[in-house]
Amino acid sequence: MSYCLRHNPGKYGLKLDEYGYVDLQEFLNAMNHMHHFWPKLTEIKIREIMQASDKERFEIKNDKICALYGHSIPGIIKRKKAIPPKVLYHGTARRFLSSIEKEGLLPMGRQYVHLSTDIEMAESVGRRKDAHPAILQINAQKAHDDGIDFYVGNDEVWLCDHLPSQYFT
């Protein structure tokens, strides 16, 4: 589901709308057509997956489904600007730190920089790349006051376009 809705809907013959949504029935048909060797995917099954997941990754609204963050497809998914919490965190690999200090946080392969609302989440994000990740603490309030736009992913994930290192505390 993440691969299709974040990275490659075209492989499934799908096109996301400007906010990243696709018709739920079309999504189900496409997934079942492509992955017919898996048990049939249904709306009930998707809702079970969403319920059981460690993270809120998808949203179903008005018979449409979207990934809430993580996109890498070309063509930026439009998002509403929002006021971030005062402090946000970013967990990363220690080997990236010198580059991050120089360039700030960049979206790299994704459309946005991903930030976490708490240290535990940042640690688990960082552990995907380093057993002992570095956690950056970010003065999001100051960055926002200075004109950097922030967007909501879900309750625990915030997004922004670029975060210069002057906002690391």
Interaction site with ligand HQG (CB under 6 A): 55, 57, 70, 92-93, 96, 99-100, 103, 105-106, 108-110, 114, 125, 129, 157
Cβ nearer to ligand HQG, comparing 49 with 63: 49
Residues sharing a CB contact under 8 Å with residue 43, sequence separation 6 or more, in sequence order = 24, 28, 60
Residues sharing a CB contact under 8 Å with residue 62, sequence separation 6 or more, in sequence order = none
Cβ nearer to ligand HQG, comparing 14 with 93: 93
Q: Which amino acid is at 67?
A: A
Cβ nearer to ligand HQG, comparing 22 with 100: 100
- How far apart CA 37 and CA 17 sit, in angstroms, is 28
Q: What stretches of the chain adopt beta strand conformation (E)?
A: 21-23, 58-61, 64-67, 87-92, 113-116, 134-139, 150-152, 157-160
Cβ nearer to ligand HQG, comparing 31 with 138: 138
Q: Quickly tell me which residue has 């460690």 as its tokens.
A: 54
Shortest reach from residue 87's CB to ligand HQG, in Å: 17
